[in-house]
């Protein structure tokens, strides 16, 4: 066998070289493939540098869940099929999920959900838990309906969500593409401007892009290498038409990029690529405007659900409860409606809106071990280092004691007056809450006036009146129990009327307000001081990223003058003197000059690298591009960095465009959350007392006399002599209405939930930043609670004077 003297080398990275001899076969002698591979020699050092590994792709959690559920009974999915929407979604997402697995998982989930609903309903009907139906006056057919139907609906809702999840996930990926497509196209254009090679452009874009489309580019490279596609161009065509049904911009841009590669003139190529990017940015602006216009109706619905609906319910529920006899205004029912159902509806609605938000700016995520952060749960308050958890506990104890003292003794405490020699008649800044004994005494009634016992005043009287209507022989134990319960409800209704009037109000306002403000301050201290230090570092990194775009252009300009990279980095320090981003380049130069590190190590070394502790994906990926391009020469590096600077500016334009378009909406919703909602809901507490007093007054009337001489001969003669209102508005329904104190607590809990939900929504829709969400919640909850307290006090003074 003859050997040719020609030597080939394959270069991987900077140093990984594999040398081999090409072997020529004689026409009459054959060589086995094993002999050819046996000629290849690779050193251990070279082998482990720049190696690539084959790794199994991590499956989506939903796919893993389906496979695990289906494994319990695979036969249930026999002959299963996707519907058209799920078929397209699974194909689009490249999920390794078969119709049989999905069908089996859906069937098992349906069976389990129905069984769980039946089990919970049965437990509620045939165990002591069933007493809850009696307390809510639910009897007859209403018992199984309430026991089973809600849980059946919850189970069916879970199954429906499961079955439509692939379609929902695909739509979310398509929404993300609104941002990811121009970004990845920008990277392709950047690469082709340097070297008009499609494969290099796809590889470069796949390595720096984000989202599903970047994964598809990586898959395209792999499939092209193993022969799935006849050529990379063919694979790009398929990818363009796959994404074209969701993003026509991508398909059109991909075609133009392919055309630019075969252009012989550099000027025409650059013109075509620039035109492609310009049109894409214009299309993004149009779509962003459409997205923002689409937010108007959902945000208006959030306003209706979160603010107007509770205001309407405070009138509807007591009236409906009084006339229907159902416990709609019961404290438990109000808690479920105000603090469970309405917030849950808002959460679902808000998440649906957020799912359609296109991602833009990648917020730097600050790890817990970031240099410069204090010890976890440690904060500096008033120049003293304290544990945040201890501060929250101390605040809880102090606030609770302070609220109790203010409620019982007022501020300053009345008990201190005698100790310092002051007269008890000396005015207090904050009088104590009214007590039952004081109110009853002031009204000229005995302390036991409303007691439900023989020692009470009106209870024995009413019971005696009711029993006189029966013969002694008819008063068995069952009848006496029924009469006693009827009289009890009547006494409770009168007590509710009495204490609902302003002059007899015994609601512990000082205690409730003190606990609310204490709880809001606890939220502030915990969330603010556990996140503010990260936020400060995050803002510094964001400032670095903003200046980094300018620094890239300066570096490119200096390198275009054939200056080495070290000189270019020094120029940044001169032009951007005082900017925090210069610290990165100064550290890079120190590592090169003092530690003798090569450029790559000077930047990326895990211990001493200039960006080792800079948690910014934008800076890290851009520095990677700079380091790689410098190895190809200063001219290539200069052109690369100029293209990168343009790409970063385009991404920044998209981010600023979205923020400017939605700023009006988020500003309005923040105002509603902080001021309008607490003020309106604070007024509802006074309206609730007005409704109670009004309905109680109606219930206490035996008859409403109207038109006694009205001629109704057309109806058979006679006249309307009275309408029995007491049979419509019963004392039992009035007695079951939530007291003012209970209602204030229910609405206060709702206010806190509302602020948290709306703050999460407005922050996320403007800036996808979990750190800022927590800080905004810490800032907004105390403001909203104080506004709620002020609203209650003001409405009590003005509206309460009428009752």
Residue 577, pLDDT > 50, answer yes
- Cβ–Cβ under 8 Å, residues 778 and 527: yes
Domain end point (choices 47, 63, 78):
47
Q: What is the pLDDT of residues 408-447, one digit of tens each?
A: 888 888 777 777 777 667 777 888 888 888 888 888 888 8
Residues 302/754, Cβ–Cβ less than 8 Å: no
Asked if residue 362 lies in contact with residue 657, where contact means CB atoms within 8 angstroms, the answer is no
**With 70 as the cut, is the pLDDT of residue 156 above it?**
yes
pLDDT of 49 higher than 50 = no
pLDDT (average), residues 33-37: 39
What pLDDT, on the 0 to 100 scale, is given for residue 342?
A: 92
What pLDDT does 699 receive? 57
Residue 654 sits at the vertex; the CA angle it makes with 648 and 659, to the nearest 5 degrees, is 125
Task: Take residue 380 and report the two structure tokens written for it.
Answer: 């500096």
Max Cα distance, the chain (Å): 130
Q: Confidence class of residue 162 from pLDDT cuts 50, 70 and 90?
A: very high
Residue 725's domain comprises 294-364+657-802
CA distance 430 to 410: 5
Q: Is-contact 70 77, C-beta < 8 A?
A: yes
The kind and range of the H/E element at 273 are: helix 266-303
Q: How far is CA 565 from the centre of its chain?
A: 44
Q: Are 183 and 651 in contact (CB under 8 A)?
A: yes
Position 210 scores a pLDDT of 80
> Is residue 714, in this structure, part of any structural domain at all?
yes
User: Any idea how long the chain is?
Assistant: 803
Q: What is the pLDDT of residues 487-497, one digit of tens each?
A: 887 888 788 77
Q: Copy the structure tokens of residue 203.
A: 């590889």
pLDDT tier for residue 728 given thresholds of 50, 70 and 90: low
- In which residue are the tokens 């309906």 written? 145
3-state secondary structure of 23: strand
For 330-365, the pLDDT digits (tens) are: 888 888 889 999 999 999 888 888 887 777 777 888
More confident residue, 68 or 7: 68
Instruction: Indicate whether 23 pLDDT > 70.
Output: no
With respect to residue 651, please indicate whether it lies within any of the assigned structural domains. Answer: no
| Total structural domains within the chain | 2
Under the banding of pLDDT at 50, 70 and 90, the label for residue 15 is very low
Spatial distance between the Cα atoms of 293 and 202, rounded to a whole number of angstroms? 35
List the beta bridge partners of residue 384: 381
195-222 pLDDT per residue, tens: 888 888 898 888 888 888 888 898 889 8
Matching residue, tokens 């129905």: 114
Count of CB atoms situated within 10 Å of the CB of 330: 20
Per-residue pLDDT at 46: 39
Of 623, 584, 621, 614, residue with least CA distance to 367: 614
Quick check: 684 and 746 in contact, CB under 8 A?
A: no
* DSSP 8-state code for residue 724: -
The highest-confidence range among 8-12, 460-464, 694-698, by mean pLDDT, is 460-464
DSSP, collapsed to helix, strand or coil, labels residue 378 as strand
- On whether residue 731 sits in a domain, the answer given is yes
Cβ pair 792, 537 in contact under 8 A = no
Axis crossing angle, helix 770-798 with helix 740-766, rounded to the nearest 10? 150
Sign of the CA dihedral running 218, 220, 225, 228: positive
Average pLDDT over residues 515-527: 95
pLDDT reported for residue 627: 87
Using a 10 angstrom Cβ sphere, with 0-12 exposed, 13-18 middle and 19 or more buried, the burial of residue 44 is exposed
Q: How confident is the model at residue 63 (pLDDT cuts 50, 70, 90)?
A: very high
The mean of the pLDDT values for the chain is 80
Mean pLDDT of 318-340: 79
Identify whether 726 is part of a domain: yes
Least confident of 93-107, 270-284, 583-597, 780-794: 270-284
Sequence-distant (6+) residues with CB within 8 A of 483 are 463, 466, 467
Distance of alpha carbon 374 from alpha carbon 438, whole angstroms = 53
Q: Which is nearest to 91 in space by CA: 79, 80, 99, 103? A: 99
Task: Show Cβ contacts of residue 464 under 8 Å, excluding neighbours closer than 6 positions.
Answer: none
For residue range 371-414, what is the model confidence (pLDDT) as tens digits? 888 888 888 877 788 899 999 999 999 999 999 999 888 888 87
The residue-averaged pLDDT of 5-22 equals 36
Considering the domain boundaries, does residue 611 fall inside one? no
Between 218 and 736, the higher pLDDT residue: 218
Strand duo 384-387 + 378-381: pairing: antiparallel
Q: CB within 8 A of 140, min separation 6: which ones?
A: none
Q: Averaged over 130-154, what is the pLDDT?
A: 77
C-alpha separations of 776 from 345, 517, 664 in Å: 22, 17, 18
Write down the pLDDT at residue 713: 39
Quote the tokens at residue 384: 């003293």
Give the whole-angstrom CA distance, residue 493 versus residue 487: 10
Closest of 353, 351, 342, 295 to residue 754, by C-alpha: 342
411: β partners:
430
* pLDDT given for residue 138 in this prediction: 67
pLDDT reading at 608 higher than 80: yes
Q: Is residue 738 part of a domain?
A: yes
User: What pLDDT is attached to residue 701?
Assistant: 53
Cβ atoms of residues 11 and 23 within 8 Å: no
Residues 496-508 pLDDT 10s? 778 878 788 888 9
In a domain? residue 769: yes
In a domain, 694, yes or no: yes
**ω into 412 cis (within 30 of 0):** yes
pLDDT for 52 equals 52
Each residue's pLDDT tens digit, 235-294 = 888 888 888 877 788 888 888 888 888 888 888 888 888 888 888 878 877 877 777 777
Place of tokens 């679902």: 348
Task: Please give the structure tokens belonging to residue 5.
Answer: 């003297």
Q: Of all residues in the chain, what percent carry a pLDDT higher than 90?
A: 19
């Amino acid at each position: 066998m003859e050997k040719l003297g020609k030597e080939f080398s394959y270069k991987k990275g900077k140093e990984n070289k594999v040398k081999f001899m090409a072997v020529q076969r004689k026409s009459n002698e054959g060589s086995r493939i094993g002999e050819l591979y046996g000629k290849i020699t690779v050193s251990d050092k070279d082998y482990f540098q720049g190696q690539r590994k084959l790794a199994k792709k991590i499956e989506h959690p939903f796919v893993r869940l389906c496979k695990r559920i289906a494994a319990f009974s695979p036969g249930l999915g026999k002959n299963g099929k996707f519907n058209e929407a799920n078929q397209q979604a699974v194909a689009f997402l490249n999920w390794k999920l078969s119709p049989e697995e999905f069908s089996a998982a859906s069937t098992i989930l349906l069976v389990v959900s129905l069984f769980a609903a039946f089990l919970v309903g049965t437990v509620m009907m045939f165990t002591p838990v069933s007493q809850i139906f009696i307390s809510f006056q639910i009897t007859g057919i209403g018992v199984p309906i309430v026991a089973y139907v809600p849980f059946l609906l919850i189970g069916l809702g879970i199954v429906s969500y499961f079955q439509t999840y692939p379609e929902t996930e695909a739509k979310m990926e398509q929404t993300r593409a609104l941002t990811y497509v121009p970004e990845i196209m920008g990277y392709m254009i950047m690469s082709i401007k340097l070297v008009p090679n499609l494969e290099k452009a796809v590889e470069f874009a796949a390595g720096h892009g984000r989202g599903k489309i970047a994964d598809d580019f990586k898959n395209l490279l792999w499939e092209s290498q193993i022969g799935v596609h006849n050529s990379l161009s063919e694979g790009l065509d398929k990818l363009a038409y796959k994404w074209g049904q969701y993003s026509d911009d991508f398909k059109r841009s991909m075609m133009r990029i392919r055309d630019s590669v075969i252009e012989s003139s550099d000027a025409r190529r650059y013109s075509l690529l620039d035109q492609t990017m310009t049109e894409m940015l214009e299309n993004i602006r149009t779509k962003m405007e459409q997205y923002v216009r689409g937010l108007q109706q959902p945000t208006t619905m959030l306003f209706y659900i979160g603010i107007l609906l509770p205001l309407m319910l405070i009138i509807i529920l007591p009236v409906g409860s009084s006339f229907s006899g159902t416990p709609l205004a019961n404290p438990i029912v109000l808690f479920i409606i105000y603090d469970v159902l309405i917030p849950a509806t808002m959460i679902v609605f808000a998440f649906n809106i957020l799912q359609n938000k296109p991602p833009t700016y990648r917020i730097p995520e600050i790890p817990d071990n970031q240099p410069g952060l204090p010890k976890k749960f440690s904060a500096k308050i008033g120049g003293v280092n304290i544990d945040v958890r201890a501060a929250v506990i101390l605040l809880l104890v102090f606030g609770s004691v302070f609220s109790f003292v203010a409620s019982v003794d007022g501020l300053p405490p009345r008990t201190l007056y005698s100790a310092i020699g002051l007269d008890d008649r000396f005015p207090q800044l904050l009088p104590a809450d009214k007590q039952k004994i004081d109110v009853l005494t002031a009204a000229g009634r005995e302390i036991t006036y409303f007691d439900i016992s023989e020692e009470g005043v009106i209870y024995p009287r009413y019971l005696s009146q009711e029993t006189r209507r029966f013969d002694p022989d008819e008063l068995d134990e069952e009848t006496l129990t029924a009469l006693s319960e009827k009289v009890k409800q009547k006494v409770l209704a009168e007590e509710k009327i009495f204490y609902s009037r302003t002059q007899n109000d015994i609601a512990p306002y000082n205690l409730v307000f003190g606990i609310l403000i204490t709880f809001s301050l606890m939220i502030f201290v915990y969330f603010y001081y556990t996140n503010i230090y990260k936020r400060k570092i995050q803002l510094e990194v964001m400032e670095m990223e903003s200046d980094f775009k300018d620094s890239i252009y300066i570096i490119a300009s200096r390198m275009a003058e054939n200056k080495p990279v070290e000189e270019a980095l020094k120029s940044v320090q001169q032009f951007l003197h005082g900017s925090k981003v210069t610290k990165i380049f100064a550290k890079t130069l120190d590592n090169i000059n003092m530690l003798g590190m090569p450029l790559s190590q000077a930047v990326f070394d895990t211990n001493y690298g200039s960006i080792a502790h800079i948690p910014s994906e934008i800076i890290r990926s851009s520095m990677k591009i700079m380091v790689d391009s410098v190895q190809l020469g200063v001219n290539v590096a200069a052109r690369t960095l100029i293209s990168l600077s343009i790409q970063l500016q385009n991404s920044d334009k998209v981010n600023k465009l979205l923020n400017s378009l939605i700023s009006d909406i988020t500003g309005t919703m923040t105002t509603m959350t902080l001021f309008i909602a607490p003020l309106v809901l604070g007024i509802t507490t006074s309206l609730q007392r007005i409704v109670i007093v009004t309905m109680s007054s109606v219930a206490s009337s035996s008859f409403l006399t109207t038109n006694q001489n009205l001629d109704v001969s057309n109806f058979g003669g006679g006249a309307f002599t009275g309408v029995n209102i007491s049979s419509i508005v019963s004392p039992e329904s009035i007695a079951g209405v939530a007291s003012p104190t209970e209602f204030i607590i229910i609405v206060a809990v709702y206010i806190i939930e509302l602020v948290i939900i709306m703050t999460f929504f407005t922050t996320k829709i403007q800036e996808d930043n979990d750190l800022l969400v927590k800080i905004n919640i810490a800032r907004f909850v105390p403001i909203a609670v104080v506004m709620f307290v002020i609203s209650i006090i003001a409405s009590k003074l003005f509206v309460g004077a009428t009752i």
